[in-house]
Each structure stands twice: as structure tokens, then as C-alpha cells.
A = this chain, B = another copy of it.
Amino acid sequence: MDLKNKRIAIIGAGIAESTIYDLSYEMGYMLGKEGAIIITGGLGGVMEGAAKGAKEAGAITVGILPGNKAEEANPYIMIPIVTDMGQARNVILVRSAELVVSIGGSYGTLSEIALALKMWKPVIGLKTWPNIPGVNYVETTKEALAKIFELLC
């Protein structure tokens, strides 16, 4: 069993301190190694860390961008989807994924967690908004990966 072609969203704030960026990179790398397609919001911070990790693991990376220019994507995005829809792109991002991993977080991330739960998508929480019923909280990327296998395979 692997995660071949599973579409996994990694969500989190556009500005991230280095521990959160590194976690995102690690998560992206681990999921990319398993063959997952990594979908993010395409910008900086967690989105960049995750895409960088995934790309370095040889995975396909998709960026669902809020603005109207493909050039806004971070350099690790292979397929930019240019929505020009601002925060409404959060809905497309979540809806396109089979599972959502939330790392760190801002209000935008909270909206994505809530949307994912509303759409009955499994959500993994790693150092993210606490105490939201329905989120599968984990402490490490390794635990996250185990949970993802359990949920998707």
C-alpha cells in the first residue's frame, strides 16, 4: 500500500518561522516519497516548505493561487492553478484534496480546517489550531504519516 497519486493538501500560513517551515518541508518530503500529489495554496511559508519538500522527493506539486498571476507561485510549484479568487481559493484547495494536513496556522488556515471538516474530509493537525472537534491531532510528521496511511489506505 502506498499513497501513489493520492491528493493531499498541506495548509498553513504564508509566513512561517523556521521550525514550522522545516516541519512543512519534512511533511511534504515524506508524502512526496510515497507518491502523493501535494496541493498547497502556492505561496510562501508552510505552502513553500511543503512544496519544496515534495518537489525534492520527486512529487508533483500543485499550487492553488489566490491571485491572478502564475508567477506568484513559489519556485517549487510545478502546476500553478491561477484562480484570481482570493480566499475563495481555500475552498477549491480543500475540495480538491482527499485529506488535509494543517501545520501551524493563521485565520486562513482555520477557515480551511473548518471547510475541510464541513466537507467531511479527514484533517490531520500538527502544531495547529487546538481543540477543534474532528481534527486528528498528532505531534510529529511520523505520527502524521502513520495516521494518513490509516485514513487513506
Contacts and interface: CB of A to CB of B under 8 A. Distances in A.
A5 B62 CA distance: 13
Contacts of A118: 87, 106-108, 111
Contacts of A82: 92, 95-96
Give how many copies assemble into the complex.
Answer: 4
Which of A70, A83, A134 is the most central at the interface, judged by chain B CB atoms within 10 Å of its CB? Answer: A83
Given A114-B111, A131-B131, A84 B79 contact: no
Interface residues of A, number: 39
Interface string A54-92: 000000101010001010000000111111111110111
25 contacts: A60-B60, A60-B79, A64-B81, A68-B86, A70-B96, A80-B96, A81-B96, A82-B96, A84-B87, A84-B88, A85-B86, A85-B88, A86-B95, A87-B91, A87-B119, A88-B91, A88-B92, A90-B91, A106-B118, A108-B114, A108-B115, A110-B110, A110-B114, A111-B114, A111-B118
